[in-house]
Structure 1
């Protein structure tokens, strides 16, 4: 598996060994990079619920490439308000998506899953704390 940046005009790829052509292809070579594999994903650490028992989290998607990308991001999880958003992220930049865990009445751990372009790219267990804590 390899990735290359192709010219705008026609091109031909060859795989050679000892001057013997093992494989060649024209423009029909798949040049679309797997965007989900390139993105960097982080989720805010533990969160404390507000008076409405909602514990906010932020998902940050970073684009380390030299090209602007437009991706569909889906954030789901246990008692989490699901979010599906199309983001355009400039080269070497990032964008954030905010959501919240609902009905946080006891300290526990909740799951967060982030999918980019339909491919699950990130999974995390996030600790949450209720607004009122019994002592």
Structure 2
């Protein structure tokens, strides 16, 4: 079955966010290799947790593409957390606009696409299997 356009777009946003986390983990790994880490165990934990988050985002992307509701739900949670973090970053002075926008805009876009995709999937399911009144 071919995934609808909204689901594909939502999956693309989730996959792009997963790729961004992989890039962040690689940057942290390079910093660790150059001796920039103040605490080796903390740096390793950050890298591992970042990679776990990336794996989750990739799983949500694949599941969203396949039309799985658990993947959309997980994706929505990640988007809400991203938007909340972006809004919280507005309280830090000076405001880091690149960080805020790089986290908030994809979060808003992903949230809108995931909700729209879920609604479209629900409408399609209702049309295929009308409820008996």
TM bin (shorter chain) = under 0.3
Q: Flag the structure with more relative contact order, 1 or 2, with Cα contacts below 8 A and sequence separation at least 6.
A: 2
The TM-score with structure 2 as length reference comes to 0.26
The TM-score with structure 1 as length reference comes to 0.25
Which structure has the highest helix share of the two? 2
